[in-house]
Amino acid sequence: MKNQRERKILFLATVDVTIYAFLIPHMKLLKDIGYEVEVAASNVGFTERIEREGFKVYNLLFSRNPLNISNLKASVRLYRIMKENKYIMLHTHTPVASFLGRIVAKIAGVPHIVYTAHGFHFHEYGNKIRNFIYYRLEKVAGRFTDVLITTNKDDYKIAKEKNIVPNGKVVYIKGVGVDLERFNPQGLNRIANINLSKDFKTNNDFLIIVIAELIKRKNIIDILKAAKIVAIHDRAFKLLIVGDGPLKVELMQFAKSEKSINERTLFLVRRSDIPELLSISNLFVMTSYHEGLPRAMMEAMAMEKPIVAYDIRGVRDLVEDGLNGFLVPFGDVNALAEKVLYLMEHPEVARAMGKKGRERVEKEFNLNVILPQMEKLYRDILETEEK
């Protein structure tokens, strides 16, 4: 049996919010089966919360900009942390940390290197040059990867066909899982007094919700453009955009400049009451051009909300067109608006789609479905070393 020092696992991400938002249940799983789990990530405000959950956090100043010199400094410190703690396994997430972390782990002699790709950054709507660069980087780091976890069918197919991890194996697990107890429409009343804004009253309006980081790849501008088209039909609706990011001011200015949607649109920062916000909403919309397997969408489905989204990788793993929502061609704002209008005018269809979405999450994307798969994978990896 390994001593306690050697029964240590490191979870690595570029920023700590990734760990806190998605991976706490996975780390608790490993803790429950006898491993000590620690975290390394850049502190963007969630480190204390992770530590309150019982996990030590090393603050590494990773940057999402791969060319930032801080990434090199963080890699040097990461190497020292790995050598000092003698981790038996590294499980890494997010592009920058995963690229650097896998190479550092191999140099440091970490026995097992696991990488979850939450959507390869080369994709069908990506710039050709960027796609080439990201593909080559995945191929390089893939040589230092023992297990690659893909979260959607397209990535799994590409990883196998392109031999992304020539010395390891590729597995397909459907995301990180959704907590169906927290996201339970039967456990929440339709709350009329959620703290939104004194000037923003939903009344009986059809409420469209968007939950996303306000960055380029989320492509929120298309939702605002679609809302303009919907507004032409003089329908009673409101648009709730929940999230933060570098494009927030630009998006708010766009909405403010458009009279037809200005008073209909409310921007909120990151919130802890997402189930409650979903409970008062009628429709979830997503217009990203790049996703892995979007958990915000799964959470909306768990809350029995129909989906209207662009037909892209990852999203089509969740939405079956016409069953639990609608998929429209990427970039077709008119088609997006048309489907939104259809669901506004056919509430019985919207409700039926919402229920189908919940059923699908219960069957395939439930945390209680995903965690046993992760436990089996972890045991298969770790028990190899312990025998």
Question: CATH 3.40.50.2000: which residues of the chain?
Answer: 4-177+367-386, 185-365
Count of all residues that appear for the chain in the document? 387
> CA-to-CA distance for 326 and 346, rounded, in angstroms?
13
- CA 68, chain centre distance (Å): 24
Mean pLDDT of 128-156: 94
Q: Return the closest-CA partner of residue 237 out of 308, 189, 187.
A: 308
pLDDT-derived band at 192 (thresholds 50, 70, 90) equals very low
pLDDT 10s digits, 227-278? 999 999 877 899 999 999 999 999 999 999 999 999 899 999 888 889 999 9
Enumerate the H helices of the chain as residue ranges: 16-18, 24-32, 47-52, 70-85, 95-108, 128-142, 153-161, 221-232, 248-257, 259-262, 274-279, 295-302, 333-345, 347-360, 367-386
Which CATH architecture does the domain made up of 185-365 adopt? 3-Layer(aba) Sandwich (3.40)
**What value does the mean pLDDT of the chain take?**
92
Q: Return the closest-CA partner of residue 291 out of 318, 265, 313.
A: 313
pLDDT-derived band at 195 (thresholds 50, 70, 90) equals low
Sequential DSSP letters for 267-282: EE---S-HHHHHHT-S
Which pLDDT does position 140 carry in this prediction? Answer: 95
pLDDT-derived band at 385 (thresholds 50, 70, 90) equals low
Which pLDDT does position 199 carry in this prediction? Answer: 46
Q: Is the pLDDT of residue 204 over 80?
A: no
Tally Cβ neighbours within 10 Å of residue 271: 13
More confident call, 210 vs 121? 210
Which CATH architecture does the domain made up of 4-177+367-386 adopt? 3-Layer(aba) Sandwich (3.40)
Mean pLDDT of 196-216: 79
> CA-to-CA distance for 131 and 135, rounded, in angstroms?
6
Q: Is the pLDDT of residue 158 over 60?
A: yes
The token duo for 364 is 């395939």
Which pLDDT does position 190 carry in this prediction? Answer: 47
The token duo for 82 is 């790995």
